[in-house]
Amino acid sequence: MAVTDHVDLPTFIEGVKKRNPGQPEFVQAVQEVAEDIYDFIEDKEHYHSEQILRRIAEPDRIISFRVCWEDDNGNVRVQRGYRVQNNNAIGPYKGGIRFHPSVTESVLKFLAFEQTFKNALTGLPMGGGKGGANFNPKGKSDREVMRFCQSFMTELYRHVGADVDVPAGDIGVGGREIGYMFGQYKRITNQFTGVLTGKGLEYGGSLIRPEATGYGAVYFLLNMLKTRGEDLVGKTAVISGSGNVATHAAEKIVQSGGKVLTLSDSQGFIHDPDGITQEKIDWVKAHKTKRRGRIQDYVSEYKGATFTAGKTPWGVPCDVALPCATQNELLGDDARLLVKNGCKAVSEGANMPTDLEGVHVFKDARILYAPGKAANAGGVAVSGLEMSQNSERRSWKEAELQQLLLDIMEGIHTSCLTYGGVAGEPGYTDYVRGANIAGFKKVADAMLAYGVV
């Protein structure tokens, strides 16, 4: 007779904590999902008896490796690299690579777990993975970054492949790093395949991949506002971060008629009451990706703006907020302040930027709140389209890709509406619940088809 381990939610979370000691980010991500899934599967015994959530919260495998490289002064440096392959029930593992000193196994496990649901939401056949290293590209020369990337790929190449696991960029990994890693993969394997996405257009990259995450987060925001008969015209936006996601989100807000008031980096935020225009966004993009400077330099360039050191921008009154920097950058008190100041909608460009307390503040206030796994899925979606183009050995036109991105974001929004309803509150959507359940259901049903594996 089968023994059904049908534990309740608190016991399940206790088990996750015990099995993953010292991994708070991973436990947080699992808890946020489990709160919704437990409710959904209450009357669906097969998900319990087949231990589906327990299995999704246990990565298929975690690869950890030494990355040695030589700096410009001839010193040998040693870093730790990882690839977390969380789940490939619906397609090859897919997810970015992060180079940042804060990278730990816990951070990459939470990102790979979230990615599993996000990728399912896109409707494309992609499983969930994430990788990275505790390497800080800041202050390193191009040659140092190249040597690090080559060394990283010298181990990673044996674990990835166009139909196995397809990494891409994330914090600290942009076009430069992807180029170095793709070059090394090609050199080692003698194969030109779609093993990475976010590639340069000259060697198999897709149009609009750089823009896709930030643009997608704004498309999702527009979809949410539309349910209340609103748009972005004349609305003020507070954005954190000043990297790929933040600058492209800012660009799309401006194109949609909104006014962007802030950007930030790990040292503080700038507030420009005149609005951060397209010309100013272009300056920030060049400053961060070419000159590799700091956001505080903005105030020397654009008078009237202020820089606040060591703080996040959530105290600046706004209509909409887009956290686009990193995990846990928006805490319970920040969420309360945003709501108090009249913020109507939050769309997460970053992964898990709001802590669990903040999530509950937004839900309780009944504002429009989109979690990263739904709102920032545009990036990985266009990565999926890059994979398709590589398989076909073709490059699709920009207009076609723009339309596909719009359609995919609208589709994710519809999935959230389908599963995010709250009893007794017609018209209100809990987007966190909707995204968690829609993502879970797709992955879970594929897992059920495979039996116990």
Ligand X SMILES: O=C(O)CCC(=O)C(=O)O
**Residues that constitute the known binding site for NAD(+):** 213, 244
Distance CA 386, CA 393 (A): 10
| β-pair partners for 99 | 133
Task: Please report, in range form, the residues annotated as the binding site.
Answer: 94, 115, 118, 169, 213, 244, 383
Q: Which CB, 95 or 313, lies closer to ligand X?
A: 95
Pairing of strands 320-322, 236-239: parallel
Catalytic-residue membership of 130: yes
Q: Which CB, 238 or 324, lies closer to ligand X?
A: 324
Q: What would the DSSP string read from start to end of 33-49?
A: HHHHHHHHHTT-HHHHH
Distance CA 260, CA 276 (A): 5
Q: Which CB, 23 or 197, lies closer to ligand X?
A: 197
119 makes contact with ligand NDP (CB under 6 A): no
**Closest residue to ligand X, based on beta-carbon distance:** 96
| 392 backbone dihedrals φ, ψ, rounded to 5° | -80, -15
Q: Which CB, 168 or 320, lies closer to ligand X?
A: 168
Distance CA 109, CA 373 (A): 15
Distance CA 313, CA 302 (A): 18
Distances (CA, A) of 61 to 53, 58, 86, 373: 16, 8, 7, 21
Among 318, 325, 367, 432, the residue binding ligand NDP under the rule CB under 6 A is 325
The residue ranges of DSSP E strands in 365-423, in sequence order, are: 368-370
Among 51, 266, 306, 402, the residue binding ligand NDP under the rule CB under 6 A is 266
Torsion of the alpha carbons at 347, 353, 357 and 363, rounded to the nearest 10: 10
CB 3, min distance to ligand NDP, A: 39
Task: Pick one of ligand NDP, ligand X, none as the site partner of residue 271 (Cβ within 5 to 8 A by kind).
Answer: none
Which residue ranges make up the site for ligand X (CB under 6 A)? 94-96, 115, 118, 168, 170, 197, 351, 376, 379-380, 383
Of 153-161, 183-191, 260-268, 418-426: span binding ligand NDP (CB under 6 A):
260-268
CB 277, min distance to ligand X, A: 28
Distance CA 113, CA 109 (A): 6
Catalytic, out of 18, 44, 109, 130: 130
How many other β-carbons are positioned within 10 Å of the β-carbon of residue 310?
8
415 makes contact with ligand NDP (CB under 6 A): no
List of residues contacting ligand NDP (CB under 6 A): 169-172, 213, 241-246, 265-267, 324-326, 329, 349-351, 376, 379
As annotated, the active-site residues are: 130
